[in-house]
Amino acid sequence: MTDESPILVEIDDGVATITLNRPDKLNAITLEMDGKLFEALHRLDADEHVRAIVVTGAGRAFCAGFDLSGGDVFGEDAHAAHDSALGTSSERIDERAGLWRLRTPIIGAINGAAVGAGLTLACLFDINIVAEDAKLGFVFTRRGILPDANIHWSLPRLIGTQKALDLLLTGRMFRGAEAAEMGLALRAVPTEDVLTTATELARDIAANTSAAAVGISKQLVYSGWCNTDPGAAIRDETQLVWWLGTQPDAIEGVMSFMEKREPVWKVSKHVELPDGIAMLA
């Protein structure tokens, strides 16, 4: 990708960094950027050498939401114009839901303002590190529209119903420090430390964990969000615990610990699960 691309991708030591690259527009999302971002996330997940993905923004913002300068971006006509190049609107919705099916952890490095669609985008990631003074807001109701990206389903599960309703109904602005306090982000740090902190977390995962174990553990968490039967959830978990314990990475994990050496993992993050387990199908 060139420097003029709406997103930039770099891979180093098992960590992929995606940078939203419209700094002069505060990284506001266009349909082109949207398509390229989700294509990159799925492509990087398919790459066995990529163990964690960090997403950040160029310049002083993470993402100011959808770019409204081109007129209507919400209606069917606007999306239909891009369907041939980026897939249908239905397919793009599936891509968002699909982030929870990916076996690669996605870590947001929210380096500045994340507003509207910029914030709902961040809520699709597995873990977020946010700048303490970043301006955040689900401002949709103040624009006469509704929040997107499945946020009505996910936000109450992330922070609780009343806190979610406060943010969604008022559309008020809040800072990164408050986001961390309420559990919307893992940690709030000074702006200059956001990308470093997120990358260090990604490198820890890449260097020290089994890709298969991480991918399955991530899917178990999100499957649990959907599973209303705790008995079924524990049966799936137990079956996977026993099954993964028979795989080469379980032996390697124990042996490398006992021998005080770095592990050499062998099992794919996309390892096929045993029959009867269909998490987030």
CB 138 within 8 A of CB 119: yes
Chain segment 213-247, per-residue pLDDT in tens: 999 999 999 998 888 888 988 998 999 999 999 99
**What local confidence, expressed as pLDDT, does residue 278 receive?**
64
CA-to-CA distance for 265 and 259, rounded, in angstroms?
15
**What local confidence, expressed as pLDDT, does residue 182 receive?**
97
Please give the structure tokens belonging to residue 149. Answer: 């990206």
**Residue in the structure block whose two tokens are 């062998």:** 266
Strand pairing of 61-63 and 106-110? unpaired
Report the CATH architecture of 210-281: Orthogonal Bundle (1.10)
Region 244-267 average pLDDT = 96
Please give the structure tokens belonging to residue 118. Answer: 């910029």
- Taken in order 215, 97, 233, 187, the sign of the CA dihedral is positive
For residue 192, pLDDT over 60 is answered with yes
In this structure, how many other beta carbons lie within 10 angstroms of the beta carbon of residue 219? 20
CATH for 7-206 is 3.90.226.10
For residue 84, pLDDT over 50 is answered with no
> pLDDT class for 91, splitting at 50, 70, 90?
low
The sheet carrying 7-12 orders its strands as: 7-12, 15-20, 52-57, 106-110, 127-131, 187-189
CA-to-CA distance for 254 and 232, rounded, in angstroms?
29
Chain segment 31-76, per-residue pLDDT in tens: 999 999 999 999 999 999 999 999 999 999 999 999 988 665 555 5
| Composition of the chain by helix, strand, coil, percent to 5 | 50, 15, 35
Cα separations (Å) of 122 from 39, 108, 127, 136, 277?
16, 6, 9, 11, 29
Tell me whether domains 7-206 and 210-281 share a fold.
no
CB 96 within 8 A of CB 117: no
Region 191-207 average pLDDT = 98
CA-to-CA distance for 86 and 40, rounded, in angstroms?
12
The domain spans of the chain are 7-206, 210-281
**What local confidence, expressed as pLDDT, does residue 73 receive?**
58
pTM equals 0.92
